[in-house]
Chain A
Amino acid sequence: MSLLALVVLPVSFALVLGVLLVGLLTGVTAGLPRASDDVGRAARRRVHLATGATVLVSMVLGGLALRVADDRALAVTPLAIATLVVLAATVLERTWPRPSGTLRTAGIRPRPEPPRLLHRLWWGATWSLAGVCVGGTLLAGPDGRSVGAEWATGSSASSPFPGARYAAPILAALLLCVLVTSWGLRTVEHRPALDAEHAQLDRAARVASTARLLRVSTVGTLLTLAGTAFVASSSLRSLAESLRNNGAPIPGQAPFDWRQHLAVTLLVVAVLALGLAVVALVSAPTRRDEAQPRPRASAPGVVAR
């Protein structure tokens, strides 16, 4: 089994465990206001159902991922799981009740902003992974799966390395994940609101839904980034050592050449990505004061009927 597989397999497990943690420990639904009537209880049930479904789908897909043997398929497994989980959560979002009857009422408040930290983490992880993939493709050898160097008297190569062979499917999976997540976020934003009496519950449920989608997508992307950066780092370090041992004429060799520097940087990126994945899992969807409606000085108007 390749090094990539050895890295990505635990990464898949980590994703499953991470989503479980989201539901069980950080309490995505913990901020939901209590409800005493049917509408509120139904809304709370719906949020709990979505969280449960997210955990269940993650577990099933994580279990199936263990049977994947192909190294390229394994490389995209965390992103594929994240995409499918986001897809399932989005489909559930579309089942919220739609307005009916001739008399319809809606609040005039704009939708809550998406959780800022998660949103930034998601975009940061996406661009970082894309950057590592593009960089890997540029550095890799013609086979797209190794990195090497040649000099007058010899050559050396190290693999696996995230060249085009791995970067292309990862980038395709990343694009798909971004598209599905964006669709999910738009679905959450545009789903019909509960009535004015349940405005606070509606707001909390919407923030929880947005956080759920962003969490899953961010964790999938960060774990792929960690795996990819770690594999690239290992190959570069191995290549640099090999060059030194063979006495290759590398400019600026002592004590490290640029490959060694890059390997260390990528290792830091991998560790940082894992740390940020944990942050994405445990961060609160929003600050408590942001979840509360902003009070206005003036009294609301009355629509006489």
Chain B
Amino acid sequence: MTTLTVDLGAAEPPYEQLRAQVAGHIATGALGPGDRLPTIRALAGDLGVATGTVARAYRELESAGLVTTRRRTGTVVAAGVPAADDAVRRAARDLAGLARREGLSEVETIDLVRAALRGAPGPLPGR
């Protein structure tokens, strides 16, 4: 089951943690176009965070064009958002497994990826 985890003790604000994880699920294909997300109140209740926290995460996702919100259907993954390439997805999964085996934290792993991205040849994508 696809899950979201919020660490209230982390330096990163909870809304950013939520935004990043939902964006990650969309990129990996765990959430596909048309998939409905929980309502703001339901997700806030499940995580025990303020509704404003979830609302902000959803707003940011909507601004990035990853989700759309309609009165009748709620918040759904936007159509036409491509999942990451299979090879990239596989590599990300391998890296996650390796980082876990090596005892690296999420922050350390993502810092490594950021550093690698900045050092990699070619222009950075806009998204």
Contact = CB atoms under 8 A, between A and B. Distances in A.
A293 B2 CA distance: 12
B47 to A, nearest CB: 5
Given A108-B31, A303-B24, A190 B41 contact: yes
Interface of A: 98-100, 102-111, 189-193, 196, 199, 293, 296, 298-305
B25 A108 contact: yes
A193 B7 CA distance: 17
A302 B42 CA distance: 22
B55 interface: no
Contacts of A111: 38-39, 42
Given A110-B74, A191-B45, A103 B5 contact: yes
Nearest to B8: A102
Interface of B: 1-9, 21-22, 24-25, 28-32, 36-39, 41-43, 45-49, 74, 83, 93, 95-97, 99-100, 104-106, 109
Contact of A303 (B21, B41, B43, B97): B21
Given A111-B39, A300-B30, A304-B95, 17 more contacts: A98-B48, A103-B6, A103-B7, A105-B6, A106-B38, A107-B38, A108-B37, A110-B37, A193-B45, A196-B1, A298-B28, A298-B83, A302-B97, A303-B3, A304-B99, A304-B106, A305-B105
A214 B83 CA distance: 40
Contact of A298 (B9, B32, B48): B32
A167 to B, nearest CB: 34
Contacts of A305: 5, 100, 105-106
Contact of B46 (A99, A100, A102, A300): A99
Contacts of A105: 3-6, 47
A189 B40 CA distance: 11
6 contacts: A105-B6, A108-B37, A110-B38, A189-B39, A192-B45, A303-B24
Contacts of A107: 1-4, 38, 46
B2 A300 contact: yes
Is chain B's binding surface mostly helix, strand, loop or mixed?
Answer: mixed
Given A102-B9, A298-B30, A110 B39 contact: yes
A134 B28 CA distance: 56
Contact of B5 (A110, A293, A299, A303): A303
B8 A104 contact: yes
Given A106-B4, A107-B3, A192 B30 contact: no
Given A196-B1, A300-B1, A110 B6 contact: no
A196 B1 CA distance: 7
B42 A189 contact: yes
Contact of B30 (A189, A296, A304): A296
B96 A304 contact: yes
Contacts of A99: 46-48
A105 B46 CA distance: 8
B16 to A, nearest CB: 14
Contacts of A102: 7-9
A190 B2 contact: no
Contacts of B105: 305
A106 B2 CA distance: 9
Contact of A106 (B32, B47, B74, B100): B47
B30 A110 contact: no
Nearest to A108: B2
A305 B74 CA distance: 30
Contacts of B30: 296, 298-301
Nearest to B21: A303
A190 B47 CA distance: 11
B46 A296 contact: no
Contacts of B95: 304
Contacts of B45: 190-193
